[in-house]
């Protein structure tokens, strides 16, 4: 039974909104199935538009469709839970130690793939889709996923740090350019990062050149010391011979006396 069940495509029994196994499943007119609570929440956000859509294929419906529980699908999902296949939903989607969790997922959290500097939230692939598809999120600023969103937002204005102030050498937001940084030399945050990376590269090259110069000087010193070694050896031998001669002379002189 386990082998036959494992051959099933579990994506058919998981909700594309919460990415978990379907809970109280409903199948809408597009043929796609969702958790009752997930699709209700999704359509509640579209009430002001009066047009409702399928989160997967974007098929639209007017008026709002009436939702009915898909009993047959619910039965299949319950059997899957009994066989323990819930854990077979791709583990790679779930957040693990060190990963940033999706702020929208309920239950077991999925890995976030992007962070929004306007929402101050991080989203998994599924919950990120509205930012790509809805005009309401068009002006939102997405960035690489980070667990330290507050570090990318101005503490005074709660706006994204999209400007770099050359005068004070710090990242600021656009409202900052109108007050405490008014009249300062500013560029975009991207340009500022490029400048800093360039400066760091130049500094690194300079240090590397200094290290190479010191290594060259050290090698020259070693070679110089090495060239003096034979001379020092001859000088030591001469000094020893001279000392022996003096000692012999003194002994002979002592015998005569």
User: Which has the minimum average pLDDT: 56-60, 106-110, 187-191, 249-253?
Assistant: 249-253
3-state helix, strand, coil in the chain (%, to 5): 50, 15, 35
**pTM summary value:** 0.40
Distance from CA of residue 85 to its chain's centroid?
31
Per-chain mean pLDDT for the chain: 79
Q: State residue 199's pLDDT score.
A: 81
Predicted confidence (pLDDT) per residue in 27-66, tens digit: 998 888 899 999 999 899 888 888 999 988 888 999 999 9
Q: State residue 124's pLDDT score.
A: 87
Q: Determine what percent of the chain is predicted with pLDDT higher than 70.
A: 78
Instruction: Rounding to the nearest 10 degrees, give the CA dihedral for residues 10, 33, 126, 81.
Output: -40
Pairwise CA distance, residues 44 & 28, whole Å: 15
Paired strand residues for 43: none
Pairwise CA distance, residues 62 & 228, whole Å: 97
Whether the link from the prior residue into 63 is cis, omega within 30° of 0, is yes
Pairwise CA distance, residues 176 & 138, whole Å: 23
Predicted confidence (pLDDT) per residue in 135-159, tens digit: 778 888 888 888 777 777 888 887 8
Q: Determine what percent of the chain is predicted with pLDDT higher than 90.
A: 8
Residue 236 has pLDDT above 80, yes or no: no
E strand or H helix at 34, and its extent?
Answer: strand 33-35
Of residues 195, 203, 119, 198, the one with CA closest to residue 164:
195
- Find out if CATH 1.10.3720.10 is the number for domain 1-88: no
Question: What are 214's two structure tokens?
Answer: 């010191």
Provide the CATH topology of domain 90-152.
30s Ribosomal Protein S14; Chain N (4.10.830)
For residue 237, what are the contacts with CB-CB under 8 A and spacing of at least 6?
A: none
Pairwise CA distance, residues 41 & 135, whole Å: 19
Pairwise CA distance, residues 127 & 121, whole Å: 11
Question: What are 179's two structure tokens?
Answer: 């007050």
Q: State residue 256's pLDDT score.
A: 59
Domain ranges of the chain: 1-88, 90-152
Of residues 133, 104, 107, the one with CA closest to residue 41:
104
User: Exposure pattern of 131-168 as b/e (b: 16+ CB <10 Å)?
Assistant: beeeeebeeebbeebeeebeebbbeeeebbbbbbbeee
């Amino acid at each position: 039974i386990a082998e036959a069940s494992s051959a099933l495509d579990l994506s058919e029994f998981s909700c594309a909104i919460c990415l978990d196994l379907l809970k109280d499943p409903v199948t809408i007119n597009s043929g796609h199935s969702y958790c009752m609570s997930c699709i209700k929440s999704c359509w509640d956000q579209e009430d002001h538009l009066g047009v409702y859509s399928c989160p997967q294929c974007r098929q639209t419906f007017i008026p709002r469709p009436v939702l009915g529980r898909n009993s047959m699908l619910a039965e299949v999902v319950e059997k899957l839970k009994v066989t323990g296949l819930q854990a077979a939903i791709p583990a790679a989607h779930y957040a693990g130690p060190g990963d940033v969790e999706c702020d929208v997922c309920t239950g077991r959290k999925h890995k976030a793939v992007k962070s929004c500097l306007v929402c101050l939230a991080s989203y998994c692939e599924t919950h990120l889709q509205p930012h790509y598809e809805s005009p309401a999120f068009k002006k939102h600023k997405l960035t690489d996923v980070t667990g330290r969103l507050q570090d990318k937002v101005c503490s005074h204005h709660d706006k994204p740090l999209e400007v770099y102030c050359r005068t004070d050498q710090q990242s600021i937001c656009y409202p900052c350019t109108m007050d405490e940084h008014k009249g300062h030399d500013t560029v975009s945050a991207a340009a500022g990062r490029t400048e800093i990376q360039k400066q760091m590269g130049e500094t690194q090259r300079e240090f590397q050149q200094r290290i190479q110069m010191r290594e060259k000087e050290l090698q020259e010193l070693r070679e110089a010391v090495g060239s003096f070694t034979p001379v020092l050896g001859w000088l030591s031998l001469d000094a020893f011979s001279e000392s022996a001669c003096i000692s012999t002379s003194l002994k002979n002189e002592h015998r005569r006396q």
